Structure 1
């Protein structure tokens, strides 16, 4: 019921306009062991390259251990401890192999009137990230900064504001060290049909360019959803997602450049299987 984390500002509109839109071919299979561990194998084909990964996740009480191995020889281990001594407090440690110096420790704290996230690299001169949000479920204001202890410079500082009511969410964020301003909104038109519309406008002060994206979604039935979007660059996208059994999805998406019809359209396929 609180304001959430900084990453939640504008998230509803971003998900509507971006989530599940892709032009790759992806297959994901998840199985569960008798001990409760979830094992997921995923493979993605992008152009002529194929990227694969295997992930194992085990949760015992408030501790989750996540181990992921990728086809580019990266082993990533993440340990998450929820309710870490204080209600709403979560600690996350991520250690990659073989580059252990790229590891990261993170602390999240969620309160009815605040959301805090802090992380730092596990090396002698780490990159430190901090974000904080104040407010409630109706209005929230926050900031997101990153400081490089090696150079003594702030590599990131952003700010955001969001308003939420029963069926509409509006957000404004200042990004890229104040160089761009983004305004977005998400409107749930029909709850029963999960019909929603949204838009996002970004103004770049350095290039003096505006980018506008519109999108919508609608549930044809309880297991089938269609989405569409269009941006000011002339790119139109559409997708249909069907949940043919609980948590198992088939997704078909396409993308067309309306300013260059001579180019072939792009098509993406995704299949997610869970027992």
Structure 2
């Protein structure tokens, strides 16, 4: 057999092996009837100044499709969204104010079920302190908080928070303190009227990498073993 015939035969066998490799065991069980086509269609548009419209449609199951409209102007914002499902829901959130004082509200309405959630809050702040009053969980939860910052000689923050749940008549009073030891380390502690004490030590080892040590203690049951955790954050 000549070299040319030998090369042709090898080439033929190689082509056959390549075809077998591409087809064998890789298309077994494949049928067009088993394919379910699905698609996600998205749209982002700006029809007016300071507005944005976002639409997402999923086919053939449209239950997770959403239409969102945003209006942003300086310190005022309005966001409304429509979620398509068997019981479509509409959510509306708005913020009116400035960096010193702002009013925020949010409501979610589900077709056939009236309002599933709504809350509102007032926030006030300046470089030395910030305070807020929030009415949440369909007016069942009232939360008021205040934080004061002491910049000198150490960066220390002290805060207090009061929460009251009207349905169960439960109330909680919490005091929080935070001390920035240096540019890399921050120590935070929090204790409430139930005797629960939480502590957190956060230390930045390098850029975008931190080590945190947390502890949880029950001051009314000192015989219990405290919970201590060590985590790395990136």
TM-score in terms of structure 1 length: 0.61
Note the 1:7-26 alignment, pairs <5 A: none
Q: Name the one with the larger helix percent.
A: 2
Measure the CA separation in 2 of the matches of 1:186 and 1:94.
40
2:89 is equivalent to residue 130 of structure 1: no
**Deviation string for 1:112-170 (max 9, x for gaps)?**
24122323324343222211111111111122111012x24101121111111221111
Corresponding residue number in structure 1 for 2:214: 253
Give 5+ residue unaligned stretches, structure 2: 1-39
Measure the CA separation in 1 of the matches of 2:43 and 2:192.
38
Measure the CA separation in 2 of the matches of 1:185 and 1:108.
30
Corresponding residue number in structure 2 for 1:168: 129
Corresponding residue number in structure 1 for 2:82: 120
**Deviation string for 1:251-275 (max 9, x for gaps)?**
11010111222222112222123xx
Contact 1:141-1:160 at 8 Å conserved across structures: yes
Give 5+ residue unaligned stretches, structure 1: 1-76
**Which secondary structure does the structure 2 equivalent of 1:101 belong to?**
coil
TM-score in terms of structure 2 length: 0.70
Q: How far is the alpha carbon of 1:85 from its aligned partner?
A: 6.2
**Compared with structure 1, are the counterparts of its residues 258 and 178 closer, same or farther at alpha carbon in structure 2 (3 Å cutoff)?**
same
Corresponding residue number in structure 2 for 1:31: none
**Deviation string for 1:231-257 (max 9, x for gaps)?**
111110111111111121111101011
Q: Name the one with the larger strand percent.
A: 1
Number of equivalences: 192
Larger Rg: 2
Measure the CA separation in 2 of the matches of 1:94 and 1:197.
44
2:151 is equivalent to residue 190 of structure 1: yes
Q: Tell me which moved more, 172-181 or 118-127.
A: 118-127
Measure the CA separation in 1 of the matches of 2:119 and 2:226.
35
**Among 175, 188, 192, which residue is 1:231 paired with?**
192
RMSD value, Cα: 3.0
